[in-house]
Amino acid sequence: MSIELRQVSKRFGSVSAVEDVSLTVADGELVALLGPSGGGKTTVLRMIAGLEVPTSGDLLVRGERVNDVPVQKRNIGFVFQSYALFKTMSVFDNIAFGLKIRKTPPAEIQTRVDELLKLFGLDGLGRRLPHQLSGGQRQRVAIARALAPRPSVLLLDEPFGAVDAKIRQELREWLVRLHRELHVTTIFVTHDQEEAMEVSNRIVIFSRGRLEQIGTPREVYEQPKNEFVARFIGVLNVLELTILNGAARLHELSFPAHGLPEGQTLRIGFRPYAVQISRNLQEHPYLAVIRHVYFLGVQLRLELETPSGLILRTRIVKDEFLRQGLEQGSSVSFQIREYRVLSTGANSLSPEVATVHSAATFAEGI
Amino acid sequence: MAGGIPRGPVAATNIKSRRGIEEPALIRRVLIGIVVGFVGVFLLLPLANVFAQAFAKGWSAYVQALQQPDTRSAVLLTLLVSAICVPLNLVFGVVAAWAVAKFQFRGKALLITLIDLPFSVSPVVSGLIYVVMFGAQGFLGPWLDSKDIQIIFAVPGIVLATLFVTFPFVARELIPLMEAQGSDAEQAALTLGATGWQTFRHVTLPSVKWGLLYGVILCNARAMGEFGAVSVVSGHISGVTETLPLRIEKLHQEYQSVAAFSAASLLAILALITLGLKTWLERRQATEQALGQSDSPSSHEH
């Protein structure tokens, strides 16, 4: 067990930034802390680093409580969102800083920094100043600097936030490779669910200072614990239904009700891929018109509108879209292959209720 | 752009838009002329006159004037005062800027305003404050008298008054600079194992060194040139409590024109050196900031 948070809370004055978070990160894991901005994920990262002190709760590293261990003694590598390179020092001196502070012999520093420059594809840039580097290079210097003193944990705050989309993709793949090679326990903060899904082994989802769910990318996508997680990870269609004559209904849509009383409301959610469409108007039970087509590359995102005015989002492979001869304005029939009950009851909007009823799983077919 | 668009209207639009932002040539020339004329008459001419008057009776008279014992001791006193005040305010300025830029605390805005106080108070008032505090009839006067410590009409009073008026220079220069830089780099140094002092020495200080030097130069210029506050507390004892500016005034009132202007030329030279250094530092700082902010890779080799 490398890092453990036990009921950790952090308040800034009267503002509660992190509330009662418990979490364990094992040795060698690559974990993403994911959530909207202001969700408390950066505060959690900074508490692990020792840059913030928890208001209550325990922080353990390898089983030892480190709440009162100062940041200098924690042996963590921290990469700031802004990179925070020392602008008056060369790339070499930046990377060597942690080693010099530890009074490492100069020959050893030289070897270690050269090794890192090579590993990070920064050969020949050792004498440059940070402002003479590209954004991607700066970030690699920041990570190399954090790794130079061989920290037990690498913490990254929004590592890909400051670079443009194309470089971001390269950096993601590079981080995964780096983690595979060095195998240092890595925790990074992101607000981008795609990034979290792609890079990490495990995702920790935060919202408003609370931990919503921990799981593998697949778990949080397929079995979201509550509506917040379901909405945050990927696109979700949400419908609010009412039980009428033994079925859950909204306008022309109806779903089997699991023995719920008449008049009760019920929220369900389903992913765009669960909506199947066909040009053949007899093939599926419901009708809709394609209102908008969003081109995403191999896939297209469609916005469907039913005769009663419900808007549903779906995805379709481009080839299939063309094969069926579909276009904007086409009439189609559709069905919802699988969905998930998010909540039942009157106050169905509250996330607590959603959690209670999360036992209900995807219902196959209709 | 499509090739079919006729040229005429495009050209006309260009001229029009240029007119929109640029003043006609005549107004431009008149305005520049006024500024240049003003600077010439009110700044350059008097400055040239200082040197003209100083050398009115030749080089040897100039040297002789500067070698008057009282003038020499005034120069030494001025050097002494700034040698005490500048380092003290340097330390104070760095501490204040650090506190304001890196910490959040109650009353911060008030503190920043108070640091500025010497800028907004007339120097004469600053001097009088010390007379009221430490003078014979003053607040602490009797107590100081009993301990045989003299502050007013002595060197300590001059140092205190100078400290007061030069108080804001370094802090004012560093606060915005440090605030703009934030504390990420310092925090990064801490995570790498550096102590607070190591962080300050290796990370903070190098990144504000030009701004710091700039503040020190301005502080020094003011410390050497201060008249009002010093005049109130000094007592004008020739050879003892007379700084260079006070000496110049006395010489001038005694109609020793060459001696007065010779001494004044020293301050004028100080002003010119300060101006030169200030310009150089401003340019350094500007390029460094521009480089620090530019995202383009290695387009400037510096």
How far apart (Å, rounded) are the C-alpha atoms in residues A358 and B8? 70
pLDDT-wise least confident of A116-130, A322-336, B193-207: A322-336
Structure tokens at B149: 């410590």
Kindly report, residue by residue over A344-365, the tens digit of the pLDDT.
654 433 333 333 333 333 332 2
Q: Which of residues 44-83 of A touch B (CB under 8 A)?
A: 49-51, 71-74, 76-78, 80, 82
What confidence score (pLDDT) does residue B87 get?
94
ipTM of the complex: 0.77
pLDDT range class, residue B2, cuts 50, 70, 90:
very low
Amino acid at position A341, single letter: V
- Output B123 or B299, whichever has higher pLDDT: B123
Task: Please give, rounded to a whole number of angstroms, the shortest distance from the CA of B181 to a CA of chain A.
Answer: 10
Average pLDDT, chain A: 85
**Residues A75-106 pLDDT 10s:** 899 999 889 999 989 999 999 999 999 999 99
Confidence of residue A258 (pLDDT cuts 50, 70, 90): low
Please indicate whether, in this complex, the C-beta atoms of A78 and B302 are within 8 angstroms of each other.
no
Listing from the earlier edge strand, what are the strands of the sheet with A253-256? A253-256, A247-250, A237-244, A265-270, A338-344, A363-364
Tens of pLDDT, residues B242-259: 999 999 999 999 988 888
- How many CB pairs (< 8 A) connect A and B? 77
* Residues in chain A within 8 Å Cβ distance of B185: 84-87
Q: Which residues of B touch A78 (CB under 8 A)?
A: 187-188, 191
Which residues 187-246 in chain B show a CB within 8 A of chain A?
187-195, 198, 202-203, 206-207
pLDDT at A267: 83
Helical residues (DSSP H) of B67-204, grouped into ranges:
69-102, 108-115, 117-120, 123-134, 141-146, 155-166, 168-181, 184-191, 196-199
Cβ distance of A133 and B190 shorter than 8 Å: no
Residue A187 φ/ψ, nearest 5 degrees: -125, 125
Mean pLDDT of chain B: 84
pLDDT in tens, A34-58: 988 878 899 999 999 999 999 999 9
Q: Which of A12, A45, A48, A72 to mutate to test the interface with B (most CBs of B within 10 A)?
A: A72
Q: Which of A67, A45, A99, A80 is nearest to A159 (CA)?
A: A80
Beta-carbon-side half-sphere exposure of residue B23 (alpha carbons within 13 Å): 8
Contact between A2 and A26 (Cβ < 8 Å): yes
Question: Which pLDDT does position B289 carry in this prediction?
Answer: 65
Tokens at B147, concatenated: 């301990």
pLDDT given for residue B294 in this prediction: 45
Residues A123-176 pLDDT 10s: 989 999 998 998 888 989 999 999 999 998 999 998 887 677 777 888 888 889
> Residues B51-71: pLDDT tens digits?
999 998 889 999 998 899 999
Closest CB to B203 among A86, A129, A145: A86
Cα B212 to Cα B205: distance, rounded to the nearest angstrom: 9
Which of B185, B291, B295 lies closest to A84 in CB terms? B185
B301 touching A (Cβ < 8 Å): yes
Contacting residues of B for A101, CB less than 8 Å apart? 192-194, 198
Q: Nearest C-alpha of chain A: how many angstroms from B86?
A: 26
Give me the pLDDT at residue A345, please: 57
* pLDDT attached to residue A344: 67
pTM: 0.75
- Tell me the residue length of chain A: 366
| B122-154 pLDDT per residue, tens | 989 988 888 888 887 877 888 888 888 888 888
Sign of CA dihedral A227, A228, A234, A235: positive
- Say whether B193 and A133 touch across the interface (CB within 8 A): no
In tens, the pLDDT along A299-334 reads: 888 999 888 888 889 988 888 888 888 888 888 999
Contact B192 A149 (CB under 8 A): yes
Give residue B20's pLDDT band: very low, low, confident or very high (50, 70, 90). low
pLDDT at B292 over 70: no
Cβ contact B198–A71 (<8 Å): no
- Residues B153 and B237: beta-carbon distance below 8 Å: yes
